[in-house]
């Protein structure tokens, strides 16, 4: 047993705080012998656990004491205002937790330490953002290989009569547009959008959504030809994406704790050149977890828009947005 014990005691015994709250407590030191302490340091921060490679960040650090301890008990009060996130999250492949730690640096001896966890929840009211964050389209998969272009064109020429019978004039027009777009070096999503729809886009407001509040999803496009659609739908997803790194290899794990689908438009015949504008308010689930992005661990919110076209690949776009307690910002 060492000469010194260190303990952390929170003023709020339930250890539940909200973004911007002041965490109060004491670091209690019990010395059993005369002891020199180079420094007694307090730190507050967060860490991840789960399938992904662990991450840790210290948000606050302070030296509470340096000097000599005679046998006895010593108390050092602290009051730290916590940041607005990241917030605690008890997920499947990803868990985020906050901690308060204290360590006494004792020369030529084991350094006694203590670490206690607490829960950090979003603020009770929206708060202004201090830093801008960047929203990005998460669907950045490029399926086109330039070397395919000649083979595709040659195949189409060889089976042109069969394609005409199977697809009809509308299908032929779309196929020609697809080939041209492939030759231009576009990915599949962009190829299909250029071949069938013009000015296709999905917008979400606000860019940072308050937990439990709705988001406004707007979708617009203009058909480049007359065509039938089975439906236009939205899918709201919360997704954990974690990466476990070891040596030269890494493994990716995904889990979807929440998913809900909505219909924007049912089966309909669309006319060439007539713009389509669709909009829907989508409710986030009660207690929606807030977004998190580390180096190896991510909790992301995504809206997937899909146009179901009969006998043709669906047009799909995925747009990421942030769930948090900030306002008037983008991430």
Per-domain boundaries in the chain: 4-121, 127-143+196-331, 144-186
Q: Kind of pairing, strands 22-31 and 72-81?
A: antiparallel
Residue 83 gets which letter from DSSP? P
Vertex 69 angle, CA 64 and 74, to 5°: 60
Q: What is the pLDDT of residue 325?
A: 82
pLDDT tens by residue, 154-206: 333 333 433 444 445 545 555 555 555 444 444 555 555 556 888 899 999 99
Report the C-alpha gap between 316 and 206 in whole angstroms: 21
On the question of pLDDT at 294 being above 70, the answer is: yes
Q: With bands split at pLDDT 50, 70 and 90, how would you rate the model's confidence at 125?
A: confident
The pLDDT of residue 330 is: 35
Categorize the per-residue pLDDT at 123 as very low, low, confident or very high, splitting at 50, 70 and 90.
confident
CA-nearest of 224, 228, 225, 235 to 280 is: 235
Percent of the chain residues topping a pLDDT of 90: 66
Q: Is the pLDDT of residue 258 over 60?
A: yes
Nearest to 238 by CA among 203, 284, 201: 284
Query: And the tokens for 117?
Result: 């966890």
Residue 254 has pLDDT above 70, yes or no: yes
In the prediction, which pLDDT does 247 show?
86
Architecture of the CATH domain 4-121: Sandwich (2.60)
Q: Please identify which residue in the block is written with the tokens 């539940």.
A: 16
In this predicted structure, what is the pLDDT of residue 154? Answer: 36
- Which of 42-51, 85-94, 156-165, 217-226 is predicted least confidently? 156-165
Residue 91 region by backbone torsions, left for phi larger than 0, else alpha for psi between -120 and 50, else beta:
beta
CA gap 178, 191 in Å, rounded: 6
Helix (H) or strand (E) holding 163: helix 160-183
Indicate the pairing of strand 315-323 with strand 208-209: parallel
* Mean residue pLDDT across the chain: 83
Q: How far is CA 34 from CA 1, 37, 107, in A?
A: 15, 10, 13
| Residues 143, 123: Cα–Cα separation, whole Å | 42
Nearest to 259 by CA among 318, 189, 330, 190: 318
Q: Is there a shared CATH topology between the 4-121 domain and the 127-143+196-331 domain?
A: yes
Q: pTM of the prediction?
A: 0.76
Strands 113-121 and 16-18: parallel
pLDDT of residue 176: 54
Which CATH code is given to the segment(s) 127-143+196-331?
Answer: 2.60.40.640
197-205 and 89-90: which strand pairing?
A: unpaired
CA-to-CA dists, residue 139 to 237, 297, 305, angstroms: 14, 18, 11
Q: 3-state class of 157 per DSSP?
A: helix
Strand ranges for 169-314 from DSSP E: 197-205, 208-209, 214-223, 227-229, 231-246, 249-265, 268-270, 276-283, 292-293, 297-308
More confident residue, 131 or 317: 317
């Amino acid at each position: 047993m060492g000469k010194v014990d260190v303990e952390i005691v929170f003023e709020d015994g339930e250890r539940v705080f909200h973004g911007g709250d002041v965490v109060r407590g004491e670091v209690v030191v019990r010395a059993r012998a005369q002891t020199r302490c180079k420094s007694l340091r307090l730190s507050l921060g967060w860490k991840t656990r789960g399938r992904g490679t662990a991450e840790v960040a210290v948000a606050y650090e302070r030296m509470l004491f340096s000097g000599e301890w005679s046998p006895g008990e010593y108390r050092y009060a602290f009051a730290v205002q916590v940041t607005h996130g990241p917030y605690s999250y008890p997920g499947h492949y990803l868990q985020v937790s906050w901690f308060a730690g204290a360590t006494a640096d004792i020369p030529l001896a084991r350094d006694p330490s203590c670490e206690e966890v607490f829960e950090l929840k979003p603020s009770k009211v929206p708060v202004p953002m201090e830093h801008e964050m960047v929203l990005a389209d998460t669907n950045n998969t490029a399926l086109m290989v330039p070397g395919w272009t000649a083979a595709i064109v040659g195949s189409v020429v060889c089976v042109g009569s069969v394609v005409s019978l199977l697809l009809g004039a509308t299908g032929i027009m779309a196929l020609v547009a697809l080939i041209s777009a492939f030759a231009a070096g576009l990915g599949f999503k962009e190829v299909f959008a250029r071949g069938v729809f013009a000015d296709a886009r999905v917008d979400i407001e606000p860019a940072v959504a308050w937990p439990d509040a709705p988001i406004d999803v707007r979708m617009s496009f203009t058909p480049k030809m007359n065509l039938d659609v089975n439906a236009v739908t939205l899918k709201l997803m919360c997704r954990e994406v974690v990466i476990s790194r070891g040596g030269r290899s890494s493994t990716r794990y995904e889990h979807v704790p929440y998913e809900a689908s909505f219909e924007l438009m049912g089966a309909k015949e669309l006319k060439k050149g007539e713009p389509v504008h669709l909009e829907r308010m989508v409710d986030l689930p009660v207690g929606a977890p807030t977004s998190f992005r580390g180096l190896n661990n991510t909790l992301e919110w995504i809206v997937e828009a899909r146009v179901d076209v009969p006998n043709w690949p669906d047009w799909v776009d995925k747009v990421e947005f942030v769930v948090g307690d900030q306002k008037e910002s983008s991430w």
